[in-house]
Amino acid sequence: MAKRTRIKDLLNTTEFNIPVTVMGWIRTFRNNQFLAINDGSCINNIQAVIDFTNTDEALLKRLTTGASVSVIGDLIESLGKGQRVEIKVTTLEILGDSDAEKFPLQPKKHSLEFLREIAHLRFRTNTFNAVFKIRHALAFAVHQFFNEKGFVYMHTPIITASDAEGAGEMFRVSTIDPDNIPRNEDGSINYKEDFFGKATNLTVSGQLEGELAAMAFGDVYTFGPTFRAENSNTTRHLAEFWMIEPEMAFYDLNDNMDLAEELLKYVIRYAIDNCAEELDFLKNRLLEEEKIKPQAERSELDLLTKLNFCLENNFERLTYTEAIQILRNSKPNQKKQFKYLIDSWGADLQSEHERYLVEKHFKKPVILTNYPAEIKSFYMRLNDPDDQGRTTVRAMDILFPGIGEIIGGSQREERLEKLEQRMDDLHIPKEEMSWYLDTRRFGSAPHAGFGLGFERLVLFVTGMTNIRDVIPFPRTPKNAEF
């Protein structure tokens, strides 16, 4: 094919009266002469002007929204208002027709729900162009951040046999014929007959494997898909999502928090510096959307102000115990407005509580630490009991405005005895985990890590409100379309 120039580059050029080739999809065709072409390289279209008096009538009729075209012409400074440059077309070719009657994306605003149902076309909208450009930039920034810090990108397995975490929330991986299930004498499924000779699942986290790597490489991270069969139909949960999980040897909980805060600020800054056009578009989109909301429900800050605010402020760090105190005395608790009232130490925090702390009380990102051991995972490092005999673990959750939990992490329990005791208490089979426990047997070391939900990060930076709209092909309960 002829070499094409990206529209993004043409719109920024200062070289005029040169022949150029553009390929893209028609957004609109006006007055039989003005073609707006978009090639996905940026939100903006380029205008191509056709000399209709010298163009075949039948060809003009085929210039419909959605059709793909190749145009060759001279790039000139635009005569009209609204654009700086345009193409004076000399050759026009239609690469793929688009039936105007059937094309579902008309040049008007569509609801995000509607667009989700035509996933192949939703990429062609301005909103999703901006969202997925930002998603790309954030992914790139994550790798750049860790690369600059000397971390090793480690690929942990997608299929795992470890069922230590999130039991019941895993997707089974099996090649057993459902119509002919091999059974043990007691009637249970005989997984020895299965592909791997044992029960296997899609991973819910790469952490345990990451810990093994950290105990050799020092600083590692994973960035891959994770799967949770949790039946939570919320705007913040996906059944398939991407997670960034760094794991660092010789880190304590404070080092862990510092790294997490630095990472979040770094990638947000990267998006601000590299996605100005996209963020500006999404900012205006949000303002437009908020106009129809009552004043009280509108956000106080616009998208860019919110992002910058996040960069300029230290995240508020406090313990679970301090948070419980604040929540217990809070207005919504006293007035019984919380669905789950906070009355005693030990309660698990619900998203209404997290949002109260972040959005109402501190009005900035918050890091909660030292949760009760009972409500956290077995691998988190035990603190000594406090003066009231309560046991906490060195966990940290980072809570973001509008999002709730964006990061969950901890310093890990590196002491074999304590770890085994915890596993016994929680009835986690140690034999199956001996590959993991070996790290505590041979040169154990203090270490820490966390998991950042990538889609929750994209949600925050784009200002979108439903997590389904920041992943190209969302998987949620009862939905695996496309």
Q: Which residues contact 278 (CB under 8 A, 6 or more apart)?
A: 43, 129, 130, 131, 133, 134
Given the complex with ligand ATP, which of 379 and 436 has the nearer CB atom? Answer: 379
Q: What is the DSSP letter of 2?
A: P
Given the complex with ligand ATP, which of 29 and 454 has the nearer CB atom? Answer: 454
Does 221 engage in binding with ligand ATP (CB under 6 A)?
no
Does 402 engage in binding with ligand ATP (CB under 6 A)?
no
Given the complex with ligand ATP, which of 240 and 302 has the nearer CB atom? Answer: 240
What residues does 448 pair with on adjacent strands? 248, 411
Does 237 engage in binding with ligand ATP (CB under 6 A)?
yes
Q: Cβ distance 247 to 482 under 8 Å?
A: no
In angstroms, what is the minimal distance from the CB of 319 to ligand ATP? 18
Measure the CA–CA gap between 94 and 68, rounded to whole angstroms: 6
Residue of 86, 247, 405, 414 interacting with ligand ATP (CB under 6 A): 405
Q: Which helix (H) or strand (E) element contains residue 112?
A: helix 112-116
Q: Which residues contact 250 (CB under 8 A, 6 or more apart)?
A: 218, 445, 446, 447
Nearest Cα to Cα of residue 408 among 449, 436, 372, 365: 449
In angstroms, what is the minimal distance from the CB of 25 to ligand ATP? 31
Does 238 engage in binding with ligand ATP (CB under 6 A)?
yes
Residue of 218, 224, 225, 408 interacting with ligand ATP (CB under 6 A): 408
Return the residues of window 170-209 that contact ligand ATP according to CB under 6 A.
Answer: none
Measure the CA–CA gap between 170 and 244, rounded to whole angstroms: 19
Pick the stretch among 44-52, 57-65, 105-113, 448-456 that binds ligand ATP (CB under 6 A): 448-456
Q: How many Cα atoms are found within 13 Å in the side-chain-facing hemisphere of 427?
A: 1
Measure the CA–CA gap between 130 and 42, rounded to whole angstroms: 8
Residue of 22, 42, 324, 406 interacting with ligand ATP (CB under 6 A): 406
Given the complex with ligand ATP, which of 39 and 455 has the nearer CB atom? Answer: 455
Measure the CA–CA gap between 177 and 28, rounded to whole angstroms: 52
In angstroms, what is the minimal distance from the CB of 329 to ligand ATP? 24
User: Cβ-count burial of 452 within 10 angstroms (0-12 exposed, 13-18 middle, 19+ buried)?
Assistant: buried
Q: Is 276 helix (H, G, I), strand (E, B) or coil?
A: helix
Residue of 451, 460, 464, 470 interacting with ligand ATP (CB under 6 A): 451
Pick the stretch among 69-77, 125-133, 323-331, 400-408 that binds ligand ATP (CB under 6 A): 400-408
In angstroms, what is the minimal distance from the CB of 457 to ligand ATP? 8
Pick the stretch among 124-132, 236-244, 254-262, 306-314 that binds ligand ATP (CB under 6 A): 236-244
Handedness of CA 342, 345, 351, 355 (dihedral sign): positive
In angstroms, what is the minimal distance from the CB of 114 to ligand ATP? 23
Does 265 engage in binding with ligand ATP (CB under 6 A)?
no
Q: What is the DSSP letter of 193?
A: G
Residue of 66, 206, 401, 453 interacting with ligand ATP (CB under 6 A): 453
Pick the stretch among 234-242, 284-292, 306-314, 356-364 that binds ligand ATP (CB under 6 A): 234-242
SS (H, E, C) 116-138: HCCHHHHCCCHHHHHHHHHHHHH
Residue of 122, 135, 228, 447 interacting with ligand ATP (CB under 6 A): 228
Does 460 engage in binding with ligand ATP (CB under 6 A)?
no
Q: Annotate 197-235 with DSSP letters as a single string.
A: SS-EEE-S-SHHHHHHHHHHHSEEEEEEEEE------SS
Measure the CA–CA gap between 370 and 256, rounded to whole angstroms: 13
Does 455 engage in binding with ligand ATP (CB under 6 A)?
yes
Angle formed at CA 298 by CA 355 and CA 398, multiple of 5 degrees: 25
Q: Total residues contacting ligand ATP (rule CB under 6 A)?
A: 14
In angstroms, what is the minimal distance from the CB of 463 to ligand ATP? 17
Pick the stretch among 84-92, 97-105, 122-130, 235-243 that binds ligand ATP (CB under 6 A): 235-243
Pick the stretch among 84-92, 156-164, 230-238, 301-309 that binds ligand ATP (CB under 6 A): 230-238
Q: Cβ distance 48 to 70 under 8 Å?
A: no
Report which residue's Cβ sits closest to ligand ATP.
Answer: 453
The residues binding ligand ATP (CB under 6 A) are: 228, 230, 237-238, 241, 243, 405-408, 451, 453, 455-456
